[in-house]
Amino acid sequence: MHPIRCAVIGVGYLGRFHAQKYAAADHAQLVAVADTDPEAAARVAAECGCRAVTDYRELLGEVDAVSIVVPTTLHYEVARECIAHGVHVLVEKPITRTVAEAAELNRLAREKNVCLQVGHLERFNAALMEVSRRPTPPLFIESHRLAPFKPRTTDVNVVLDLMIHDIDIILDMVRSPVKSLAASGARVLSDALDIANARIEFDNGCVANVTSSRVSLKSERKMRIFQKNAYVSIDFQNRGLSVHRLGDREAFPGIPEITSENTVFEEGDALKVEIQAFLEAVRGEAPVVVSGEDGQRALETAIRISELLHGEAPVLGQSAP
């Protein structure tokens, strides 16, 4: 088996980890890393034993697959160029700034017959992957994604920063068109929305209540899924899974038995699993787990929620009103 020739475009905080995973992956060769900062590129290249370049376009024709870990405003430009040259792409979330850009990337990926995967990393959390192995149509979903405030220069609101993780998971889980949306939120410590709540109603009757905050005193990433005769709780942060089901007998006269199963998964490496899944898709061994179409649907829903929230500018790269 010939190794897949790989590169990472953008080796800031997260891109460096992408490079490390490719360098250690079986049947893959990290050819180069690219970054407009020559010192950053050289530092990560030395660490991972590969070439450093400042212009990713130098690598087109030399690599089979890339991770794109540049600012979101550049996702479309860089991904389009790579896909046009027949390169398989793993692009960090959100897929692009606009739905139109996402649609064009998906069209081009189909035309060039290349894999386009979106880096919704939470899909590779061990607890969620276990739930995905035994899917049951949900009736109601409640999620909370809370994080402490981290001062940074960003024009991305909390919906596109944090909530989009849960939007992607919920859309994949429910698999029904969105019927209606309602949302509320506030700007607290930045110029963009810092806390938001959305209610998503689906054509099949399922309802999701989604809350995200980046101005909390604690970190929490939990989702509760209510199904017919069952309740499932996922703790993404602690890799915990609790499943409670209606039993076949009565615990007391007139009171049904409730069975409970609690599992805590060993600490894993979700990014390693994500990149392994991408490489398997590139080799044709498995379908893409988080497709470009998945990324487009999550972005479209996140932008629609943003539009409901005080007229928040939905296009990344624009200043909030």
**Average pLDDT per 10 consecutive residues for the chain, totaling 321 residues:** 94 96 96 98 98 97 97 96 98 95 98 98 94 88 93 71 96 96 90 91 97 92 94 95 84 76 91 97 97 98 90 43 31
Element (H, E) at 311: none
CATH superfamily for domain 4-120+271-289: NAD(P)-binding Rossmann-like Domain (3.40.50.720)
Task: Answer yes or no: are the C-beta atoms of 80 and 60 closer than 8 Å.
Answer: no
Q: How far apart are CA 176 and CA 179, in angstroms?
A: 9
Instruction: Determine the pLDDT at residue 150.
Output: 79
- The residue count for the chain: 321
Q: Which residues 6+ apart lie within 8 Å of 211 measured at CB?
A: 143, 144, 145, 146, 195, 196, 197
Q: Cis link prior to 94 (omega < 30° from 0)? A: yes
- Spatial CA neighbour of 136 closest among 174, 95, 98, 91: 174
CA end-to-end span of the chain: 53
Instruction: Determine the pLDDT at residue 187.
Output: 86
Instruction: Determine the pLDDT at residue 152.
Output: 56
The strand order across the sheet containing 88-92 reads: 51-53, 28-34, 4-9, 65-68, 88-92, 116-119
Instruction: Determine the pLDDT at residue 320.
Output: 34
Domain borders along the chain are 4-120+271-289, 123-268+300-308
Instruction: Determine the pLDDT at residue 313.
Output: 45
Instruction: Determine the pLDDT at residue 241.
Output: 96
Fold exhibited by the domain 123-268+300-308: Dihydrodipicolinate Reductase; domain 2 (3.30.360)
Instruction: Determine the pLDDT at residue 156.
Output: 74
